[in-house]
Amino acid sequence: MTNALALSLDHLVINTHFEMNAAQAIFEQLGFTLTPRGRHSLGSINHLMVFDNDYLELIGLPSDGGLLRKDVLESPVGIDGLVFQTSDATRTHQLLQANGLAVQPVQAFSRPVELNGVVSEARFETVRFEPGQFNAGRLYYCKHFTPELVWRKEWQAHRNGVKALSGLLIVCESPQQEATQYVAAAGGVAVGGANGEYRVRGARYSLVFVTAAQYAECFRGLTCVGGKRPSFFGAIALQTSSLAPLRQALKRMQKNGLHTITWREQTGRIAVQIPGFNTLLEFVDRDIV
């Protein structure tokens, strides 16, 4: 294993299928600033929640009869993408193959971005695995050719105070085995914890691997479901400057009758379940990250 694959987290993805409008409304009410809706050349639509160095993406499918992106259509609704950032997609492709991993050819795509009446093209290259190697969801690598069209100050301020992605929790039968597999794909070191979980730390984030029993005990009913997948992405952790704005937003949502949102607060943390989208978000005060 070469250390050249110690990649930074680029973004995490929530798949909405054809329910993008509903997802957009929920995340805006949670206090996120969403970018204008984008449309990829591959046949998907999206909104981003852009932070200091990474972002959370809502991805979905157009309902106007246009091209439908196959990998999004065939993946379940919910947390479904772990994306690392690379500065050279071709080199990453070569390193993954050298590590014995089966990857698809480098894929190029784009989406238009309008700023002050001028339309530009946000351009990307991705490296994706051949199906069947990672059971929890889509794992891939992204090269940004136009980061100035993504990380913009007007999109980086969020009323809920979120500043960064801080982690992803993966629910699986064998945390040690699964963590080792992810290390082979993205670098780092898998370290076991006192409770039997395994953790892979990267730059500004961590991947945490737990069993279904540990997951249920930790979140006490506020959980996602894996469906037919033997492992699945169970929670996204977000670092926030304060929990107070989120707490206020959640109370407003409850008052307005949005009872699909369930949440629970513990010291320094608020877990928010969004059942219609099989998504669990854990907002963590920066002082305890």
Q: Give the pair of three-digit tokens for residue 84.
A: 């690392």
Task: Tell whether domain 3-156 is in CATH 3.30.70.260.
Answer: no
Q: What is the pLDDT at residue 6?
A: 67
Asked whether the domain spanning 162-288 has the same topology as the one spanning 3-156, the reply is: yes
What is the model's pLDDT at position 193? 87
CATH code given to domain 162-288:
3.10.180.10
Q: Using alpha carbons, list the distances in angstroms from residue 31 to 116, 183, 223, 248.
A: 24, 34, 22, 10
* Start-to-end C-alpha separation, the chain: 29
Q: Is the pLDDT of residue 7 over 80?
A: no
Q: How confident is the model at residue 2 (pLDDT cuts 50, 70, 90)?
A: very low
- In the chain, pLDDT over 70 holds for what percent of residues? 96
Query: Given this model, what pLDDT does residue 178 score?
Result: 94
pLDDT band at 3 (very low <50, low <70, confident <90, very high): very low
Q: Which residue has the higher pLDDT, 255 or 164?
A: 164
Domain ranges, ordered by start, for the chain? 3-156, 162-288
Which DSSP letter does residue 170 get? E
- pLDDT tens per residue, range 75-96: 999 999 999 999 999 999 999 9
pLDDT number for residue 217: 94
pTM score over 0.75: yes
**17-69, pLDDT tens digit by residue?**
999 999 999 999 999 999 999 999 999 999 999 999 999 999 999 999 889 99
pLDDT digits (tens, 9 = 90+) for 220-236: 989 999 988 999 999 99
At residue 286, the pLDDT reads: 77
Average pLDDT for the chain? 93
Q: When comparing pLDDT for 239 and 5, which is higher?
A: 239
Q: Averaged over 4-21, what is the pLDDT?
A: 90
Residue 4 has pLDDT above 70, yes or no: no
Confidence at residue 131, expressed as pLDDT on a 0 to 100 scale? 87
Cα 115 to its chain centre, rounded Å, is 25
DSSP string spanning 229-276?
-SSEEEEEEEEES-SHHHHHHHHHHHHTT-TT-EEEEETTEEEEEEGG
Burial class (CB in 10 A: 0-12, 13-18, 19+), 154: exposed
More confident of the two residues 105 and 4: 105
Quick count: other Cβ atoms within 10 Å of Cβ 189? Answer: 11
Q: What HEC string does 54-76 produce?
A: CEEEEEECCCCCCCCCHHHHCCC
**Range 118-147 average pLDDT:** 95
- The mean-pLDDT minimum among 28-37, 49-58, 201-210, 272-281 falls in 201-210
CB 62 within 8 A of CB 45: yes
pLDDT on residue 195 = 84
